[in-house]
Amino acid sequence: MTATHRPGPIVVVTDRRKQRSDLRSRLERATEHEVRTLSATGDLEDVIGTDATDPPDTDGDAAATVPSGVVVELDCPSDIQTVLQRVHDRVATVPTIVAPPKGSERLATVALRADATDYVPTGGDEDPIDRIVATIRSHSQLPSADDGQYHRILANELPDEAFVIGENGTYLEAKARPDSADLYSTAADDLPGSQLEDAFPDQVATKLQDCIERALRTDDVQSVEYDAETTEGLRRFEARVVPIDQRIQGQRAVVWLARDITERVRRERQLRSRQDQLETLNRINAVVRQVIETLVEAPARDAIEREVCEQLVDSDLYCGSWIAERAGDGRLSYRTGAGEAEHYLDAVRDLTVDQERPLMQAVQTGEIRTTNRIREDGTIPEPLQEAAREDDVRSAIAVPITHEDAIYGVLTVLASRDDAFSERERAGFRLLGETIGFTIMAVKNRQLLFADTVVELEFRIDSGETFSFDLSKAYDCTCSLEWAGTTANGRTFQYVTVDGLDGETVLEKAQDHDSIERCRLIHDGEENCTLEMQLAKSGVRTLANHGATIRDVTVESGIGTCLVEVSQDADVREIAEALTVIYEDTDLVARREVDRPVRTAAQRRSRILDQLTDRQLTTLRLAYYGGFFDWPRESTGEEIAEAMDISPPTMHQHLRKGLKGILAEFFENGGHN
């Protein structure tokens, strides 16, 4: 039989008989090597040959030979140290793997000090067999042990660097993983003999020296994080400092096991940043919701604006807030403000026209403007930047106060945080600006609705680009607005009566006019007609958003007269400007105070009943109590007619006239809004 060369065996040194056979069988299945087991107190010399021992040439030879690897499955530090020393005395080149059932820094330190090749605890989630076999195979491919390949013992614990450091801060030994060694500006071989102060700034060196002394004093493992300069810049490390029982070079020492945690710290910082942003956003939304809830009960615009500013600065998120509106001269007029940024709030009242432009852009465009680096933003006027430095203001947001097309002013909020106003926060403030605008509009209309005395404004309009102006100028007719308003789905309608022109011509011209999306002829008489028009834009709605009610609009031969009602405390200039947006050439020609008659509910009821005939009132009562208006109907029109002993067509005629009389009391006497 021809002799064949076989690789050396794998020797497992263990005192755990239960695991011994299991580890042996698993290694045998995973590799071509023979696997032998040996107790920690056994005779290693009978199993492990020396470097000079010839490899076996025949199968079954159990004589001492150079093994391919030695696996030490022990959990006693002194036993591990003894076994490794005995193995290395016999054969210096054999790879040794310390594989305790449960890992710890102390066992890793012993393995490192005893010059083990790898450290692979077997009690973890990762399968240790693949790691053990890979270590043995990798080592068998190397020509010698002295080729620059450092120990990989810390791969399962703290793998990037390991030092033995004396109690006085002197490096005694140093090792670094090959794949991380390029990070270090000082090679590991050059560190022994140097001090911590040589490798780190004084503050960091003192921190690390304190950790060494604490580990030696308590005889327990300590942890510390620190920064170190590398070829890739400043990186973050985490170290476990393990005290060593024996003295080295006459002094106590520790093993310093360090891991590069730069990427982990970066991920944690990003996670904390996202969490902080989410928490801040939640707080901002809570503040906005609280402000919105209080707006419902605000009695007047001044109270609304004051409440908004005060509640915003009650939170520690913001240090100042203020509201301004556009005055008659085109400048910004400060209305109210609150917060600790007193220098800033004083400075905004004294801005020149040029210095107001950034804020004016928010008013003119209706778009939010933000600056998250207010002291570095060149668009911010110098007086405001100087005030920001005094008050520690870092960010600002300008929020238009709007409702539909109406812009009532601008809310500015200040923060002592950089990057305080992200896109999500801007969305919250956009909602706040719209809510304030809606509330101001509602207050204006409420004041007008319940006022006993109102102001009637009469405007002369010399030109306009609307259908009524174009039609009356071209055909010398008169156009009168019957009603204008907006449906729930946002569509704008007008009902216009035209005197002096036939309905066919009016309908034809209306269908061709750019301002009209859709139209139909409601009534076509001999000398007048009524047209329903759906418009692209509504000037009536614009005025309503400023707290005004249009009472009448008449256009004759291209000249218009518009009567508008507002509350006594309304800003007439604001109404005039809003009307100018609709019609270019307008003049206020009259301002009159009008007393509204105060009617009780009983008076209003009597007024309605007086306008109905007996037959109309009887028809309405029978239809109402008989369920004619229910759905589905409890009574039909024929049944109501039979009860009245009249024909169904006659019943419907009485019903329509009666309903028209009731509705006229509300609509015709209630204005065009």
DSSP 22-49: HHHHHHHHH-SS-EEEE-TTS-HHHHB-
Q: Which of 61-70, 363-372, 409-418 has the highest mean pLDDT?
A: 409-418
Q: Give mean pLDDT, residues 618-642.
A: 86
Q: Which of 108-117, 140-149, 189-198, 199-208 has the highest mean pLDDT?
A: 199-208
pLDDT of res. 604: 66
Q: How would residue 131 be classed by pLDDT, with cut points 50, 70 and 90?
A: confident
The CATH code for residues 10-156 is 3.40.50.2300
pLDDT for 240 beyond 60: yes
The edge-to-edge listing of strands for the beta sheet with 478-486 is 516-524, 528-535, 492-499, 478-486, 549-556, 559-566, 453-463, 585-595
Q: How would residue 371 be classed by pLDDT, with cut points 50, 70 and 90?
A: confident
CA dihedral 109, 115, 117, 120 (to 10 degrees): -20
Whole-angstrom distance, CA of residue 179 vs CA of residue 458: 86
pLDDT of res. 153: 41
What the block records as the tokens of 46 is 């009978």
Q: At residue 84, what is the residue type?
A: L
Q: Give mean pLDDT, residues 144-162.
A: 43
Phi, psi of 446 (to 5 degrees): -65, -40
Q: How would residue 653 be classed by pLDDT, with cut points 50, 70 and 90?
A: very high
Q: Give mean pLDDT, residues 414-434.
A: 86
pLDDT of res. 17: 58
Whole-angstrom distance, CA of residue 29 vs CA of residue 26: 5
First vs last Cα of the chain: how many Å apart?
115
Q: Extract the runs of DSSP E, i.e. beta strands, from 470-612.
A: 478-486, 492-499, 516-524, 528-535, 549-556, 559-566, 585-595
Q: 10 Å Cβ neighbour count for 567?
A: 20
Q: Which residue has the tokens 């045998």?
A: 28
pLDDT of res. 460: 92
What residue ranges do the domains of the chain occupy? 10-156, 161-260, 287-448, 453-595, 601-667
The edge-to-edge listing of strands for the beta sheet with 332-339 is 332-339, 320-326, 406-415, 395-403, 369-371
Which CATH number is 287-448's, of 3.30.450.40, 3.40.50.2300, 3.20.20.70, 3.50.50.60?
3.30.450.40
pLDDT of res. 451: 62
What the block records as the tokens of 610 is 């007086």
Superfamily of domain 161-260: PAS domain (3.30.450.20)
pLDDT tens for 586-629 read: 888 998 887 765 555 566 677 777 788 888 888 888 888 878 88
Report in angstroms the alpha-carbon separations of 656 from 273, 342, 571, 661, 668.
68, 66, 42, 9, 16
Report in angstroms the alpha-carbon separations of 61 from 46, 57, 287, 291, 492.
12, 8, 83, 89, 103
What the block records as the tokens of 482 is 């019957």
pLDDT for 89 beyond 70: yes
Give the contacts of 26 (CB within 8 A, at least 6 positions apart): 129
Q: Give mean pLDDT, residues 445-454.
A: 68
Whole-angstrom distance, CA of residue 536 vs CA of residue 144: 88
pLDDT of res. 57: 43
pLDDT for 55 beyond 60: no
pLDDT tens for 474-498 read: 999 999 998 887 776 667 888 899 9
233-243 and 369-371 beta bridge pairing = unpaired
pLDDT for 537 beyond 90: no
In 3D space, the residue among 499, 542, 498, 549 whose CA is nearest the CA of residue 519 turns out to be 498
pLDDT of res. 106: 79
Report in angstroms the alpha-carbon separations of 79 from 49, 70, 76.
20, 14, 5
**One fold for both 161-260 and 287-448?**
yes
pLDDT of res. 477: 93
pLDDT of res. 639: 87
Whole-angstrom distance, CA of residue 437 vs CA of residue 172: 73
Q: How would residue 185 be classed by pLDDT, with cut points 50, 70 and 90?
A: low
pLDDT for 130 beyond 50: yes
What the block records as the tokens of 197 is 């102060």
Q: How would residue 630 be classed by pLDDT, with cut points 50, 70 and 90?
A: confident
Whole-angstrom distance, CA of residue 572 vs CA of residue 551: 16
Whole-angstrom distance, CA of residue 480 vs CA of residue 472: 10
pLDDT tens for 313-355 read: 887 889 999 998 877 666 778 889 999 999 998 888 887 777 7
Phi, psi of 615 (to 5 degrees): -65, -40
Using DSSP, state whether 205 is helix, strand or coil: helix
Give the contacts of 466 (CB within 8 A, at least 6 positions apart): 515, 539, 583
pLDDT of res. 155: 38
pLDDT of res. 647: 92
Q: How would residue 91 be classed by pLDDT, with cut points 50, 70 and 90?
A: confident
Q: Give mean pLDDT, residues 242-255.
A: 86
Confirm if 482 and 530 have CB atoms less than 8 A apart: yes
Tally of residues, the chain = 673
The CATH code for residues 601-667 is 1.10.10.10
Q: Give mean pLDDT, residues 23-49.
A: 80
- Higher pLDDT: 657 or 569? It is 657
96-98 and 118-119 beta bridge pairing = parallel
Q: Give mean pLDDT, residues 493-509.
A: 91
Q: Which of 149-153, 318-322, 347-351, 539-543 has the highest mean pLDDT?
A: 318-322
Average model confidence (pLDDT) for the chain? 80
For the chain, give the percent of residues with pLDDT over 70: 84
| Cis status, amide bond into 55, omega within 30 of 0 | no
